[in-house]
Structure 1
Amino acid sequence: MDLKDHIRTIPDFPKPGILFYDISTLLMHPQAWRTTVERLGEVIAPYKPDLLVGIESRGFLTAAPLALHLDLGFFMVRKRGKLPGDTLSYSYGLEYGSDTIEIQADAVQPGQRVVVLDDLLATGGTMAAAVHLLQRAGAEVCAAACIVELNFLGGRDKLPVPAHSLLTYDA
């Protein structure tokens, strides 16, 4: 099955000049979605993670079913102020400004093996920030993975861990 057949592109979203790669159409097709989860499982299983981590918000859709498929735990990396209880945060620069992500302070134990997931890897800033936050929390970040990677934006080069993607686009 060619999963690219199930990715919709939307021009000029969220702003003019941007081509948005939408996984909504993939999620609506049960066989394509099942195939996506199975293929991600084949990529992630060799790392023998203890937990999977999803980045807000479509990373939750990617990591949660994969965690069930691999019989693993799952937790979330969220934007500042979205998680209850004690949190650990990491601020990072964006093209214009900055952002802060957080995890719950007790989400990961030192030495636990984790893999970070999102739906799409573009410039790599948020995924790299998530890796750094998790490493600072004591996790052993084994890898990062996504469904779609936009090669032309070079996000993979910002990641200090092996990166995997099911689908790549060069322009």
Structure 2
Amino acid sequence: MKKYIILILAIISMIYVFTSVKAEDTIIPDEAIRFRVIANSNTIYDQNIKVQLKNVVQNKIFELTKGTETIEETRKILKDNIDLLDNLTKETLKNLGYDKNYKINYGYNYFPKKKYKSVTYKEGMYESLVITLGTGEGDNWWCVLFPPLCLVEADESTTSDAEYTFFIKEIIDKYTK
């Protein structure tokens, strides 16, 4: 009887695995606006500057876009406030004692292929607000502004591998010992 239960569970698991969403499927819709901050380098100092700037600019963007319901609304707000965001970036970097140059760009920008939490995001040109600090050779942080998925952070410097266990294997181990 135990063998039949194990066999049935194994078959159900295989059906689930082959019919479920693949890890390569993205959770970001085609119509999205991203926000990305690229550090000058991977030194602790440059990464710290990136995070502090990201926090300030992201908070301002959330304040500006709060309550928007369409991509068009979000796009218009970002375009209308690009100078405000540029000045905020300049002032924040000055207050942090950061003396390297930076670039801020709203438009279609290149994003490399990225794997995060078992989801692969394809490389390509995406509508986005990008702030590049210095030479832009450091790790970056990015999120999706619209739809507002910024709760799912994509910070290369803080991602870690998760430990996965398999339910069926645990059951088999439990009943075969």
Structure with the largest fraction of strand: 1
Find the structure with the greater CA-based Rg: 2
Smaller-chain TM-score bracket: under 0.3
Q: Name the TM-score, length of structure 1 as normaliser.
A: 0.27
